[in-house]
Homo-oligomer: A and B are copies of this chain.
Amino acid sequence: MHARRDLRATLLTENIGEEIFALAAKIFPICRSITGNGVRQTLREIAAHIALEMHEVPTGTPVFDWTVPHEWNIRDAYIKDMRDEKIVDFGRSNLHVVSYSVPVRKHVSLAELRQHIHTLPEQPDLIPYRTSYYAEGWGFCMPHRQFEQLPDEIYEVVIDSSLEDGYLSYGEYLHRGETEDEFLLSAHVCHPSLANDNCSGVALLAHLAKRMAGLRTRHSYRFLFAPGTIGAITWLARNEHHSQRIKHGLVISMVGDNGGPTYKKSRRGDAKIDRAMAHVLRHSGMIPVIIDFFPYGYDERQYCSPGFNLPVGLFQRSRFGEIPQYHTSGDNLDFIRPKYLAQSYRVIVDTLDLIENDGVYSNTMPKCEPQLGKRGLYGPVGGNKGTAAAAMAMLWILNLSDGRHSLLDIAERAELPFTVVRDTAQQLQQHGLLTKCLRPDDLADCAAQ
Protein backbone atom coordinates (compact mmCIF):
# COMPACT_ATOMS: atom_id res chain seq x y z
CA MET A 1 0.00 0.00 0.00
CA HIS A 2 2.98 2.30 0.61
CA ALA A 3 3.98 3.15 -2.92
CA ARG A 4 0.41 4.06 -3.74
CA ARG A 5 -0.02 6.13 -0.65
CA ASP A 6 3.02 8.12 -1.74
CA LEU A 7 1.14 9.20 -4.84
CA ARG A 8 -0.03 12.50 -3.45
CA ALA A 9 3.31 13.18 -1.73
CA THR A 10 5.14 12.56 -4.99
CA LEU A 11 2.81 14.40 -7.30
CA LEU A 12 1.88 17.46 -5.27
CA THR A 13 5.07 19.43 -5.80
CA GLU A 14 5.82 23.07 -5.09
CA ASN A 15 5.40 25.56 -7.92
CA ILE A 16 3.43 23.09 -9.99
CA GLY A 17 1.08 25.89 -11.02
CA GLU A 18 3.94 28.03 -12.32
CA GLU A 19 5.46 25.10 -14.20
CA ILE A 20 2.18 24.22 -15.90
CA PHE A 21 1.69 27.89 -16.76
CA ALA A 22 5.17 28.11 -18.28
CA LEU A 23 4.47 25.19 -20.62
CA ALA A 24 1.05 26.57 -21.52
CA ALA A 25 2.69 29.91 -22.35
CA LYS A 26 5.30 28.18 -24.48
CA ILE A 27 2.74 26.38 -26.68
CA PHE A 28 0.27 29.28 -26.75
CA PRO A 29 1.68 31.05 -29.85
CA ILE A 30 1.72 27.92 -32.02
CA CYS A 31 -0.91 27.81 -34.78
CA ARG A 32 -2.52 24.42 -34.19
CA SER A 33 -5.30 22.83 -36.17
CA ILE A 34 -6.58 19.25 -36.46
CA THR A 35 -3.55 18.42 -38.63
CA GLY A 36 -0.28 20.01 -39.61
CA ASN A 37 2.97 21.28 -38.24
CA GLY A 38 1.35 23.19 -35.39
CA VAL A 39 0.27 19.91 -33.83
CA ARG A 40 3.72 18.39 -34.40
CA GLN A 41 5.46 21.35 -32.81
CA THR A 42 3.15 21.13 -29.79
CA LEU A 43 3.84 17.41 -29.40
CA ARG A 44 7.58 18.13 -29.53
CA GLU A 45 7.20 20.60 -26.65
CA ILE A 46 5.40 17.92 -24.64
CA ALA A 47 8.09 15.42 -25.60
CA ALA A 48 10.63 17.68 -23.94
CA HIS A 49 9.06 16.55 -20.64
CA ILE A 50 8.01 12.94 -21.24
CA ALA A 51 8.87 10.10 -23.59
CA LEU A 52 5.94 10.81 -25.87
CA GLU A 53 5.15 8.28 -28.57
CA MET A 54 4.28 10.10 -31.83
CA HIS A 55 1.82 8.79 -34.39
CA GLU A 56 1.24 9.90 -37.98
CA VAL A 57 -1.90 8.64 -39.76
CA PRO A 58 -2.11 9.24 -43.53
CA THR A 59 -4.78 11.37 -45.16
CA GLY A 60 -7.55 9.17 -46.48
CA THR A 61 -7.34 6.55 -43.73
CA PRO A 62 -10.88 5.48 -42.89
CA VAL A 63 -11.67 5.78 -39.19
CA PHE A 64 -15.18 4.50 -38.50
CA ASP A 65 -17.62 6.84 -40.33
CA TRP A 66 -14.86 9.41 -40.89
CA THR A 67 -11.77 9.79 -43.08
CA VAL A 68 -8.48 11.35 -42.02
CA PRO A 69 -8.59 14.72 -43.83
CA HIS A 70 -5.98 16.60 -45.81
CA GLU A 71 -3.15 18.07 -43.82
CA TRP A 72 -3.38 21.82 -43.43
CA ASN A 73 -0.42 24.12 -43.06
CA ILE A 74 -0.20 27.85 -43.13
CA ARG A 75 2.80 30.16 -43.48
CA ASP A 76 1.25 33.61 -43.66
CA ALA A 77 -1.99 35.44 -44.22
CA TYR A 78 -3.16 39.02 -44.31
CA ILE A 79 -5.61 41.55 -45.68
CA LYS A 80 -4.07 44.68 -47.15
CA ASP A 81 -5.94 47.88 -47.87
CA MET A 82 -5.26 50.24 -50.77
CA ARG A 83 -2.55 51.99 -48.78
CA ASP A 84 -0.72 48.63 -48.68
CA GLU A 85 -1.26 48.41 -44.96
CA LYS A 86 -1.96 45.00 -43.38
CA ILE A 87 -5.23 45.64 -41.62
CA VAL A 88 -5.41 41.95 -40.59
CA ASP A 89 -2.20 40.01 -40.02
CA PHE A 90 -1.86 36.31 -39.19
CA GLY A 91 1.50 37.16 -37.70
CA ARG A 92 -0.17 39.10 -34.93
CA SER A 93 -2.80 36.42 -34.06
CA ASN A 94 -3.37 33.04 -35.60
CA LEU A 95 -7.09 33.41 -34.76
CA HIS A 96 -7.35 35.86 -37.69
CA VAL A 97 -7.55 33.00 -40.20
CA VAL A 98 -10.40 30.50 -40.31
CA SER A 99 -8.74 27.18 -39.62
CA TYR A 100 -8.48 24.96 -42.72
CA SER A 101 -8.84 27.93 -45.08
CA VAL A 102 -7.76 27.01 -48.62
CA PRO A 103 -5.01 29.16 -50.20
CA VAL A 104 -6.20 32.42 -51.65
CA ARG A 105 -4.39 35.40 -53.23
CA LYS A 106 -6.54 37.98 -54.90
CA HIS A 107 -8.08 41.43 -54.86
CA VAL A 108 -11.66 41.70 -53.75
CA SER A 109 -14.25 44.38 -53.23
CA LEU A 110 -15.47 45.14 -49.72
CA ALA A 111 -18.75 43.44 -50.60
CA GLU A 112 -16.97 40.21 -51.52
CA LEU A 113 -14.61 40.46 -48.57
CA ARG A 114 -17.50 40.74 -46.15
CA GLN A 115 -18.70 37.28 -47.24
CA HIS A 116 -15.49 35.88 -45.77
CA ILE A 117 -15.25 37.81 -42.52
CA HIS A 118 -16.37 36.52 -39.11
CA THR A 119 -16.86 38.87 -36.16
CA LEU A 120 -18.58 39.00 -32.79
CA PRO A 121 -21.01 41.95 -32.87
CA GLU A 122 -21.72 41.57 -29.16
CA GLN A 123 -18.03 41.45 -28.24
CA PRO A 124 -16.78 44.03 -30.77
CA ASP A 125 -13.15 44.11 -29.56
CA LEU A 126 -12.49 40.37 -29.70
CA ILE A 127 -11.43 38.11 -32.54
CA PRO A 128 -13.56 34.98 -32.83
CA TYR A 129 -12.12 31.49 -33.36
CA ARG A 130 -13.60 29.74 -36.40
CA THR A 131 -12.91 26.52 -38.28
CA SER A 132 -14.01 25.04 -41.58
CA TYR A 133 -12.64 21.53 -41.43
CA TYR A 134 -15.07 19.63 -43.57
CA ALA A 135 -16.31 22.25 -46.05
CA GLU A 136 -13.62 23.83 -48.23
CA GLY A 137 -13.51 27.60 -48.06
CA TRP A 138 -11.55 30.47 -46.65
CA GLY A 139 -12.16 33.25 -44.23
CA PHE A 140 -10.79 35.80 -41.81
CA CYS A 141 -11.82 36.69 -38.26
CA MET A 142 -11.50 40.18 -36.82
CA PRO A 143 -12.91 42.51 -34.17
CA HIS A 144 -16.37 43.72 -35.12
CA ARG A 145 -15.45 47.34 -34.34
CA GLN A 146 -12.71 47.23 -36.97
CA PHE A 147 -14.96 45.41 -39.42
CA GLU A 148 -17.62 48.12 -39.25
CA GLN A 149 -15.11 50.81 -40.16
CA LEU A 150 -13.72 49.16 -43.26
CA PRO A 151 -13.94 51.67 -46.15
CA ASP A 152 -15.54 50.60 -49.38
CA GLU A 153 -12.45 49.90 -51.48
CA ILE A 154 -10.46 47.07 -52.98
CA TYR A 155 -8.53 44.74 -50.64
CA GLU A 156 -5.76 42.32 -51.22
CA VAL A 157 -6.38 39.02 -49.44
CA VAL A 158 -3.61 36.48 -49.04
CA ILE A 159 -3.74 33.12 -47.33
CA ASP A 160 -0.50 31.27 -47.91
CA SER A 161 -1.76 27.86 -46.83
CA SER A 162 -1.71 24.35 -48.17
CA LEU A 163 -4.39 21.66 -47.89
CA GLU A 164 -2.92 18.46 -49.24
CA ASP A 165 -2.42 14.77 -48.63
CA GLY A 166 -0.38 14.38 -45.48
CA TYR A 167 -0.91 13.06 -41.97
CA LEU A 168 -2.90 13.47 -38.81
CA SER A 169 -0.54 13.63 -35.82
CA TYR A 170 -1.12 12.65 -32.23
CA GLY A 171 0.98 11.64 -29.25
CA GLU A 172 0.48 9.24 -26.40
CA TYR A 173 2.36 8.22 -23.30
CA LEU A 174 1.76 5.17 -21.14
CA HIS A 175 2.73 5.05 -17.50
CA ARG A 176 2.75 1.30 -16.79
CA GLY A 177 1.26 0.20 -13.48
CA GLU A 178 0.91 -3.20 -11.83
CA THR A 179 -2.13 -4.05 -13.92
CA GLU A 180 -3.29 -3.46 -17.47
CA ASP A 181 -6.35 -1.62 -16.20
CA GLU A 182 -6.00 1.82 -17.70
CA PHE A 183 -6.86 5.31 -16.61
CA LEU A 184 -7.17 7.49 -19.72
CA LEU A 185 -6.27 11.17 -19.51
CA SER A 186 -7.04 13.00 -22.72
CA ALA A 187 -6.52 16.57 -23.91
CA HIS A 188 -7.15 18.09 -27.33
CA VAL A 189 -4.24 19.73 -29.17
CA CYS A 190 -6.10 21.27 -32.12
CA HIS A 191 -6.93 24.75 -30.88
CA PRO A 192 -4.55 27.60 -31.84
CA SER A 193 -3.83 30.52 -29.49
CA LEU A 194 -6.49 29.80 -26.89
CA ALA A 195 -4.82 29.63 -23.49
CA ASN A 196 -7.48 27.97 -21.40
CA ASP A 197 -8.91 25.90 -24.24
CA ASN A 198 -6.67 24.00 -24.25
CA CYS A 199 -3.05 24.99 -23.62
CA SER A 200 -3.98 24.67 -19.94
CA GLY A 201 -5.13 21.06 -20.21
CA VAL A 202 -2.23 19.98 -22.42
CA ALA A 203 0.34 21.51 -20.08
CA LEU A 204 -1.31 20.10 -16.97
CA LEU A 205 -1.32 16.55 -18.32
CA ALA A 206 2.26 16.82 -19.57
CA HIS A 207 3.44 17.80 -16.09
CA LEU A 208 1.32 15.15 -14.41
CA ALA A 209 2.80 12.47 -16.67
CA LYS A 210 6.30 13.80 -15.98
CA ARG A 211 5.86 13.59 -12.22
CA MET A 212 4.46 10.04 -12.37
CA ALA A 213 7.76 8.69 -13.70
CA GLY A 214 9.08 6.10 -11.25
CA LEU A 215 5.87 6.03 -9.25
CA ARG A 216 4.49 2.57 -8.57
CA THR A 217 0.77 2.52 -9.34
CA ARG A 218 -1.92 -0.11 -9.53
CA HIS A 219 -3.41 1.23 -12.76
CA SER A 220 -1.65 2.06 -15.96
CA TYR A 221 -2.10 5.67 -17.02
CA ARG A 222 -2.54 6.53 -20.67
CA PHE A 223 -2.02 10.17 -21.64
CA LEU A 224 -3.44 11.10 -25.03
CA PHE A 225 -2.69 14.38 -26.81
CA ALA A 226 -4.75 14.40 -30.01
CA PRO A 227 -6.78 16.79 -32.12
CA GLY A 228 -10.40 17.06 -30.99
CA THR A 229 -13.03 14.74 -32.51
CA ILE A 230 -11.05 13.35 -35.47
CA GLY A 231 -8.04 12.65 -33.23
CA ALA A 232 -10.05 10.80 -30.61
CA ILE A 233 -11.96 8.94 -33.34
CA THR A 234 -8.67 7.96 -35.00
CA TRP A 235 -7.23 6.74 -31.72
CA LEU A 236 -10.36 4.73 -30.93
CA ALA A 237 -10.37 3.21 -34.43
CA ARG A 238 -6.74 2.13 -34.10
CA ASN A 239 -7.12 0.89 -30.51
CA GLU A 240 -10.61 -0.55 -30.61
CA HIS A 241 -9.38 -4.01 -29.61
CA HIS A 242 -8.18 -2.90 -26.23
CA SER A 243 -10.42 0.05 -25.50
CA GLN A 244 -12.19 -2.02 -22.85
CA ARG A 245 -9.00 -1.91 -20.77
CA ILE A 246 -9.97 1.65 -19.95
CA LYS A 247 -11.56 1.42 -16.52
CA HIS A 248 -11.57 5.15 -15.75
CA GLY A 249 -10.96 8.26 -17.78
CA LEU A 250 -11.02 12.02 -17.86
CA VAL A 251 -11.04 14.55 -20.64
CA ILE A 252 -9.20 17.64 -19.43
CA SER A 253 -9.80 21.09 -20.88
CA MET A 254 -10.06 24.68 -19.68
CA VAL A 255 -8.44 24.09 -16.32
CA GLY A 256 -6.69 27.44 -15.84
CA ASP A 257 -9.48 29.91 -15.11
CA ASN A 258 -11.13 30.77 -11.83
CA GLY A 259 -14.56 29.27 -12.63
CA GLY A 260 -16.29 26.08 -11.56
CA PRO A 261 -14.94 23.55 -10.92
CA THR A 262 -17.19 21.57 -13.23
CA TYR A 263 -17.42 17.82 -13.65
CA LYS A 264 -19.55 16.31 -16.38
CA LYS A 265 -20.28 12.68 -15.70
CA SER A 266 -19.65 9.86 -18.10
CA ARG A 267 -22.59 8.44 -20.05
CA ARG A 268 -22.83 5.67 -17.46
CA GLY A 269 -23.45 8.27 -14.78
CA ASP A 270 -22.46 5.99 -11.91
CA ALA A 271 -18.99 4.92 -12.97
CA LYS A 272 -16.31 4.96 -10.32
CA ILE A 273 -14.69 7.99 -11.95
CA ASP A 274 -18.03 9.80 -11.62
CA ARG A 275 -18.26 9.04 -7.92
CA ALA A 276 -14.57 9.75 -7.33
CA MET A 277 -14.62 13.16 -9.04
CA ALA A 278 -17.84 14.15 -7.28
CA HIS A 279 -16.35 13.15 -3.93
CA VAL A 280 -13.03 14.91 -4.45
CA LEU A 281 -14.71 18.08 -5.68
CA ARG A 282 -17.15 18.18 -2.76
CA HIS A 283 -14.20 18.09 -0.39
CA SER A 284 -12.02 20.46 -2.44
CA GLY A 285 -13.00 23.63 -0.60
CA MET A 286 -14.46 24.92 -3.88
CA ILE A 287 -18.14 24.81 -4.84
CA PRO A 288 -18.37 22.31 -7.67
CA VAL A 289 -20.98 21.96 -10.38
CA ILE A 290 -21.61 18.31 -11.19
CA ILE A 291 -23.63 17.76 -14.33
CA ASP A 292 -25.07 14.75 -16.04
CA PHE A 293 -23.70 13.54 -19.32
CA PHE A 294 -25.01 15.15 -22.47
CA PRO A 295 -23.78 14.33 -25.97
CA TYR A 296 -22.06 17.63 -26.77
CA GLY A 297 -18.73 18.98 -25.58
CA TYR A 298 -15.21 17.55 -25.94
CA ASP A 299 -13.92 14.10 -26.75
CA GLU A 300 -16.06 12.42 -24.09
CA ARG A 301 -18.56 12.52 -26.99
CA GLN A 302 -16.50 9.84 -28.74
CA TYR A 303 -15.43 7.86 -25.67
CA CYS A 304 -19.05 7.79 -24.51
CA SER A 305 -20.60 6.94 -27.89
CA PRO A 306 -22.93 3.95 -27.41
CA GLY A 307 -20.59 1.51 -29.16
CA PHE A 308 -17.82 2.24 -26.62
CA ASN A 309 -19.62 3.65 -23.58
CA LEU A 310 -16.34 4.11 -21.72
CA PRO A 311 -16.33 5.49 -18.18
CA VAL A 312 -14.82 8.82 -19.20
CA GLY A 313 -15.94 12.17 -17.77
CA LEU A 314 -14.93 15.76 -18.43
CA PHE A 315 -13.15 18.00 -15.95
CA GLN A 316 -13.16 21.76 -16.43
CA ARG A 317 -13.18 24.91 -14.39
CA SER A 318 -15.78 27.09 -16.17
CA ARG A 319 -18.19 25.17 -18.37
CA PHE A 320 -17.35 25.51 -22.03
CA GLY A 321 -19.49 28.05 -23.82
CA GLU A 322 -20.57 29.69 -20.58
CA ILE A 323 -17.83 32.29 -20.37
CA PRO A 324 -17.50 35.31 -22.67
CA GLN A 325 -13.87 34.47 -23.46
CA TYR A 326 -14.84 31.08 -24.91
CA HIS A 327 -13.49 30.65 -28.44
CA THR A 328 -12.30 34.26 -28.71
CA SER A 329 -9.05 36.15 -28.45
CA GLY A 330 -10.12 36.89 -24.86
CA ASP A 331 -8.96 33.35 -24.01
CA ASN A 332 -5.34 34.45 -23.75
CA LEU A 333 -2.53 34.03 -21.22
CA ASP A 334 -4.06 36.69 -18.96
CA PHE A 335 -7.11 34.50 -18.57
CA ILE A 336 -5.30 31.62 -16.88
CA ARG A 337 -3.35 31.74 -13.61
CA PRO A 338 -0.78 29.41 -11.98
CA LYS A 339 -2.93 29.35 -8.85
CA TYR A 340 -5.96 27.93 -10.64
CA LEU A 341 -3.85 25.50 -12.65
CA ALA A 342 -2.43 24.23 -9.36
CA GLN A 343 -5.94 23.83 -7.90
CA SER A 344 -7.05 21.87 -10.96
CA TYR A 345 -3.93 19.73 -10.82
CA ARG A 346 -4.58 18.92 -7.18
CA VAL A 347 -8.17 17.84 -7.92
CA ILE A 348 -6.89 15.42 -10.54
CA VAL A 349 -4.16 14.07 -8.28
CA ASP A 350 -6.67 13.57 -5.45
CA THR A 351 -8.91 11.69 -7.87
CA LEU A 352 -6.04 9.45 -8.96
CA ASP A 353 -5.18 8.90 -5.32
CA LEU A 354 -8.75 7.86 -4.59
CA ILE A 355 -8.96 5.47 -7.56
CA GLU A 356 -5.59 3.94 -6.64
CA ASN A 357 -6.32 3.50 -2.93
CA ASP A 358 -9.98 2.60 -2.84
CA GLY A 359 -10.62 -0.94 -1.73
CA VAL A 360 -12.89 -3.15 0.28
CA TYR A 361 -11.86 -4.20 3.77
CA SER A 362 -13.28 -6.49 6.40
CA ASN A 363 -13.57 -5.72 10.08
CA THR A 364 -11.77 -8.60 11.82
CA MET A 365 -13.91 -8.19 14.94
CA PRO A 366 -17.36 -7.62 13.54
CA LYS A 367 -19.31 -8.66 16.63
CA CYS A 368 -19.79 -5.54 18.78
CA GLU A 369 -17.20 -2.79 18.60
CA PRO A 370 -13.59 -3.72 19.18
CA GLN A 371 -12.13 -2.04 22.25
CA LEU A 372 -10.28 0.90 20.74
CA GLY A 373 -9.15 2.21 24.12
CA LYS A 374 -6.85 -0.68 24.96
CA ARG A 375 -5.08 -0.14 21.65
CA GLY A 376 -4.59 3.57 22.32
CA LEU A 377 -7.01 4.44 19.54
CA TYR A 378 -9.55 6.21 21.76
CA GLY A 379 -9.35 9.09 24.24
CA PRO A 380 -9.07 7.75 27.81
CA VAL A 381 -11.66 9.95 29.57
CA GLY A 382 -15.22 9.17 28.49
CA GLY A 383 -17.87 11.84 28.25
CA ASN A 384 -15.54 14.39 26.72
CA LYS A 385 -17.44 15.92 23.86
CA GLY A 386 -14.35 16.26 21.70
CA THR A 387 -13.34 12.61 21.89
CA ALA A 388 -16.30 11.40 19.92
CA ALA A 389 -15.54 13.45 16.81
CA ALA A 390 -11.98 12.15 16.63
CA ALA A 391 -13.12 8.54 16.71
CA MET A 392 -15.89 8.85 14.14
CA ALA A 393 -13.81 7.83 11.13
CA MET A 394 -12.71 4.65 12.93
CA LEU A 395 -16.24 3.82 13.99
CA TRP A 396 -17.60 4.34 10.48
CA ILE A 397 -14.93 2.16 8.90
CA LEU A 398 -15.38 -0.61 11.46
CA ASN A 399 -19.15 -0.50 11.16
CA LEU A 400 -19.31 -0.60 7.37
CA SER A 401 -16.33 -2.82 6.59
CA ASP A 402 -18.38 -5.95 6.10
CA GLY A 403 -16.90 -6.80 2.70
CA ARG A 404 -19.71 -4.93 0.96
CA HIS A 405 -18.57 -1.32 1.28
CA SER A 406 -15.47 0.19 -0.25
CA LEU A 407 -13.56 3.02 1.40
CA LEU A 408 -15.25 5.38 -1.06
CA ASP A 409 -18.65 4.04 -0.03
CA ILE A 410 -17.71 4.73 3.57
CA ALA A 411 -16.35 8.21 2.84
CA GLU A 412 -19.56 9.10 1.02
CA ARG A 413 -21.80 7.73 3.75
CA ALA A 414 -19.78 9.31 6.57
CA GLU A 415 -19.30 12.56 4.67
CA LEU A 416 -15.60 12.43 5.40
CA PRO A 417 -12.78 13.21 2.94
CA PHE A 418 -11.42 10.07 1.30
CA THR A 419 -7.91 10.87 2.52
CA VAL A 420 -9.07 10.73 6.14
CA VAL A 421 -10.86 7.42 5.58
CA ARG A 422 -7.89 5.99 3.72
CA ASP A 423 -5.39 6.98 6.44
CA THR A 424 -7.65 5.79 9.24
CA ALA A 425 -8.18 2.46 7.47
CA GLN A 426 -4.44 2.01 7.32
CA GLN A 427 -4.17 2.73 11.04
CA LEU A 428 -6.86 0.13 11.81
CA GLN A 429 -5.13 -2.34 9.49
CA GLN A 430 -1.87 -1.83 11.40
CA HIS A 431 -3.73 -2.71 14.61
CA GLY A 432 -5.11 -5.87 13.07
CA LEU A 433 -8.69 -4.64 13.12
CA LEU A 434 -9.07 -4.54 9.34
CA THR A 435 -8.00 -6.85 6.53
CA LYS A 436 -8.05 -6.04 2.87
CA CYS A 437 -10.30 -8.15 0.71
CA LEU A 438 -8.31 -10.16 -1.81
CA ARG A 439 -9.98 -8.72 -4.86
CA PRO A 440 -10.88 -5.21 -3.85
CA ASP A 441 -12.82 -4.30 -6.97
CA ASP A 442 -15.04 -7.34 -6.76
CA LEU A 443 -17.44 -6.40 -4.00
CA ALA A 444 -19.67 -9.46 -4.35
CA ASP A 445 -16.68 -11.68 -4.01
CA CYS A 446 -15.46 -9.96 -0.89
CA ALA A 447 -18.82 -10.10 0.79
CA ALA A 448 -18.87 -13.84 0.22
CA GLN A 449 -15.58 -14.39 2.04
- Inter-chain contact B294/A396, CB cutoff 8 Å: yes
A7 an interface residue at 8 Å Cβ cutoff? Answer: no
Stretch of A148-156, A176-184, A366-374 contacting B (4+ beta carbons < 8 Å):
A366-374
B240-A134 in contact (CB<8A): no
A305 vs B398: C-alpha distance in the bound complex, in angstroms? 8
Query: Among the listed B64, B130, B368, B380, which residue makes an inter-chain contact with A382, where contact means beta carbons less than 8 Å apart?
Result: B130
**A305-B399, A373-B134, A392-B296 are known contacts. Are A65 and B380 too (CB-CB below 8 A)?**
no
Interface residues of A in 12-35 (CB under 8 A from B): none
User: A96 an interface residue at 8 Å Cβ cutoff?
Assistant: no
The answer to whether A368 and B130 have CB atoms under 8 Å apart is no
CB-based contact A130/B366 at 8 Å: no
The one of B131, B301, B308 in contact with A367, judged by C-beta atoms closer than 8 angstroms, is B308
Decide yes or no: A296 and B388 within 8 Å by CB, A233-B368, A367-B308, A399-B267 being known contacts: yes
- Chain B residues near A414: list those with CB within 8 A: 294
Known contacts being A130-B384, A132-B381, A382-B131, is A306 close to B396, with CB within 8 Å?
no
**Residues of B close to A304: CB separation below 8 A:** 399
- Are A305 and B369 within 8 A (Cβ)? yes
A367 with B398, Cβ < 8 A, contacts A321-B385, A382-B130, A388-B321 known: no
A23 to chain B, nearest CB (A): 25
Asked if A295 is an interface residue, CB under 8 A from chain B, the answer is yes
Asked whether, in the complex, the Cβ of A135 is within 8 Å of the Cβ of B380, the reply is yes
A365 at the interface (CB under 8 A from B): yes
In the bound assembly, the distance between CA atoms of A302 and B368 in angstroms comes to: 5
Q: Which residues of B contact A236 (CB under 8 A)?
A: 367-368
- Residues of B close to A400: CB separation below 8 A: 295, 306
Is A249's CB within 8 Å of the partner chain B?
Answer: no
Interface residues of A in 388-411 (CB under 8 A from B): 388, 391-392, 395-396, 398-402
Given contacts A132-B380, A134-B373, A401-B306, contact A368 B232 (CB under 8 A): yes
> Could you say which interface size class chain A belongs to?
35 or more
In the bound assembly, the distance between CA atoms of A245 and B53 in angstroms comes to 63
Instruction: Tell whether A66 is near chain B: CB-to-CB under 8 Å.
Output: yes
Cα distance A65–B365 in the bound complex, in angstroms: 7
Q: Which of A66, A98, A229, A392 gathers most chain B CB within 10 Å?
A: A66
User: What is the minimal beta-carbon distance from A374 to any residue of chain B, in angstroms?
Assistant: 7
CB atoms of B307 and A64 under 8 A apart:
no
Q: Check A363 for interface membership: any CB of B closer than 8 A.
A: yes
With A240-B367, A296-B395 in contact, is A128–B305 under 8 Å at CB?
no
- List the B side residues contacting A128 at CB < 8 Å: 383
The answer to whether the Cβ of A298 comes within 8 Å of any Cβ in the partner chain is: no
**Given known A-B contacts A306-B400, A388-B321, A367 and B64 have beta carbons under 8 A apart:** yes
Within the complex, what minimum Cβ distance (angstroms) separates A375 from chain B? 10
Are B383 and A327 in contact, with the CB atoms below 8 A? yes
Q: Verify A130–B363 contact, CB threshold 8 A.
A: no
- Are A369 and B134 closer than 8 Å at their CB atoms? no
Instruction: Give the contacts of A131-151 with B (CB-CB under 8 A).
Output: 131-135, 137, 139
- Least CB distance from A425 to B in Å reads 14
B306 contacts A399, CB within 8 Å?
yes
Binary contact track A316-332/B, C-beta < 8 Å → 1, others 0: 00000100000100000
User: How far, in whole Å, are A39 and B233 apart by their CA atoms in the complex?
Assistant: 68
Q: What residues of B have a CB within 8 angstroms of the CB of A225 in the complex?
A: none
Looking across the interface, which residue of chain B has its beta carbon closest to that of A236?
B368
CA distance A296 to B354 in the complex (A): 26
Per-residue 0/1 for A230-264: is the Cβ within 8 Å of any B Cβ (1 yes, 0 no)? 00110011001000000000000000000000000
Provide the bound-state CA to CA distance between A400 and B305, in Å: 8
A-B CB contact pairs (8 Å), 29 listed: A65-B368, A65-B369, A98-B381, A128-B383, A130-B384, A132-B380, A133-B382, A134-B380, A135-B381, A139-B381, A233-B369, A294-B396, A295-B398, A295-B399, A296-B392, A296-B395, A301-B369, A301-B395, A302-B368, A305-B366, A305-B369, A306-B402, A307-B363, A308-B367, A308-B368, A309-B402, A321-B388, A327-B383, A327-B385
**Top-7 shortest CB links A-B:** A307-B366, A307-B367, A135-B380, A295-B399, A295-B395, A131-B382, A306-B402
